[in-house]
Structure formats: structure tokens, C-alpha cells
Amino acid sequence: MKEALKEKLKELTALIGVSGSEQPVIRYCLEHLKPFADEVTVLPCGDLIARFDGTMPGPKMMIAAHADEIGFHIRSIDKNGFIYFGVFGGVQLKTVLASRVLFNGKKGVVKGVVGLTPGHITPPEERGKVPPMDACYIDVGAASYEEVLEMGLEIGSTAVIESPLTELNRPDLVTGRCIDDRAGCAALLQLAEDIKAGKLTFEGSVYITITVQEETGLLGAIHASDYVKPDCFIAVDTAPCGGTPDVPERLLPTKMGGGPIITISDNTSPVSKIFPNHGLVAFAKRYAAQQGIPLQRVPAPGAGNNDAGAVNYVGSHCPAMGLVMPRRYSHSASEVMDLNDLVYEVRMLAGFIENNGKISFDFFAE
């Protein structure tokens, strides 16, 4: 399973799917889910919902990962062909300067580079500073505004940093951009294959869902859960973890290789914290112990927000929880994850699926 997941992750992270422009990722997942699902729907907002029917009637379980990633969009183009850009999602500008980028243009992928003032002419007092966003630009090798348009780019075209998935010195550790949350998408595609192969049997229906616009407001999960109105919802995502010199255990007591993380709370609501359903958490803890799967817990802000919070707060309001995977160097072009955590995630989700209809959502379950 690990090698199959790695290959899926490699293909998924090669796609450009900035928030609001997730079409390449949704098309890829649609192609891979359609042969297996009983019904596949793409909502007008872009959410991909694949329904899998069990052996007998029962509740509806929705398991969702998000397709989108952080990235850039063209804000303006000057007469000399230099592109000024804005960002979608939590981009840290300090990770962007001098990076190579890939635009998703109307005529195909266009390569570029984020400009950087030569060190030879940068005053010493400026060398350690990050310039303001409106001073940063992208060079695609064009000599004019018209040449940029000829390349198939326009105001609003989106781009990402070029960073293909690569193994580190330990083969189970991989690095690249948008592991958040293409790892979750890979897990769901694997589960779809396992259901079709008869490896998983269950009651009711399971809705494997690839949401959009998570990085810019968790909006896809709201639409998807409202459309299906599931009886429970599980968000499959990634989250920052500790274990590095700058993120000690006292700040974030999670680690790569330590298994999936249950988010104790998140900050989706602008006025309060959102908590997972106690019954879902109790089942996850019990199942992990039975199967020998390591499990971690952490509150926000360490874990960040995920689609489960949106479902609880403004979506269908069904019992929900986040089951996320640890990653290092979040929202950069060099995120790192342990593939063993991805395998653990698939095993945990398989347990939820096989027990659909048997999981209590009781407030007193824990």
C-alpha cells in the first residue's frame, strides 16, 4: 500500500490547484473515482462527491480531503512583461523570493521565477529583510505585456512554486509542495480502490469527497455537507508537527511517524473554538488501540483549522472531527511527511468505514 500511496501522492502534487482554480486536481480525482463509485457528482463550486453504497441501508458518512493549495494569482502585468502578484491562502513571502514558479495558463504550463534584487547592489541593512508584497514580481521571460498574454496568461491566472515530490535520505520521508492536502486526496483514492476491490464492507453509504477552497475559508466543505447532509463527517488533512529545533515539544507535542492526529479543537469560528464529536473521538481512540495504530492529539492553533470545523459551525452541523496527518514546514514548497503516517491514516479511515452505523455519537462516549 505504501508504494501505491507514494505514487498517487507524486502524481497529485504535480498538479496545479490553487484555491478557486482546482480544476486539474478535481479532473484527476474524477477520473480515478468514477470507475469505482456508485455515483459521482461535481457541484457547481467544484466539490467532487463520490457515493459508495454498502451492503444494507444505513447512515451516510462523509470523508473529505481538500484539493486546493496555497499559491499566487496575477494582479497586474507591466508594459515590460513583468508580473505583479497577490496570494491565495497562507503564503509566507520569505519562502517565495527567487523561487521558480509554474503558471496554469490557458495554453498550458508557463514557467517563471520570482525576482530578487542582486546582493551586489542591495544595501547591507536591507539584505535580511523581506520586501513588501507589492514590490515583488515574477519574470516569465516576456518582453512586453502583449507577450505575456500570448503565453496564455491573464489577470487572475494562478501559479505555484515549482517543487516536485522528492525522497529524503530515508525513503519513507518525502518532501515537496502541497502535501497539504494532496496526501489526504491520495488516502481517499486508495480507500475507493479498496472498497471496489471488496476489501471494505459496510452499512449505509460512504461519500468520499474532494473539497475546494479550504485554504481560503473552508467553503467547499460547507457546500458539500449541505448538499449530502451526512450523518457524520471526517476531515482528512495535514497539520504542523513538532520535533524540530524551532518547534519544541512544549509548543507542539506531535511528531512525524507518530500516527494520525485528532484535533482537540480548532479556530474555524471567529468567536469561539470548535470541538470534535466525542463519540467519533472515542471510536478513533478505541479502534487505534485495538489495531496497534499510533494516534496523537493536539489543539489549535498548533493543528490549524480543517473542514470539520466548518461543517460544525456553518455547514450541515452533523457530528464531525478532524483526523489529520503530521507534516513539517507547513505552507512552503518543501513540506515533509512520513509515508507511514499516510498508511496509518488509510487504516484508521478504513475502520471508520467498516463501522459505519455502529459508531455512537454520544456526548458521554469518551
- The set of catalytic residues is 214
Q: Measured between alpha carbons, how far is residue 3 from residues 172, 326, 339, 347 in Å?
A: 10, 19, 9, 15
Provide the b/e sequence for 112-143 (b: ≥16 CB within 10 Å): bbbeeeeeeeeeeeeeeeeeeeeebbbebebe
- Per DSSP, the three-state class of 143 is coil
> How far, in Å, CA of 148 to CA of 19, rounded?
22
Within 8 A by CB and 6+ apart from 148, the residues are 77, 81, 83, 140, 142
Within 8 A by CB and 6+ apart from 321, the residues are 233, 234, 235, 262, 263, 276, 277, 280, 281, 284, 308
* In 212-257, beta strands by DSSP E: 232-240
All three cell numbers of 43, joined, read 457541484
Residue with cell 539584505: 127
- Checking DSSP bridges between strand 158-161 and strand 137-139, what pairing results, if any? unpaired
The neighbour count for residue 198, using CB atoms within 10 Å, is 7
Q: Measured between alpha carbons, how far is residue 155 from residues 72, 74, 215 in Å?
A: 11, 5, 21
In single-letter form, the type of residue at position 300 comes to: A
**Positive or negative CA dihedral for 22, 26, 28, 29?**
positive
> How far, in Å, CA of 206 to CA of 231, rounded?
10
Cβ 36 vs Cβ 207: under 8 Å: no
Within 8 A by CB and 6+ apart from 53, the residues are 38, 205
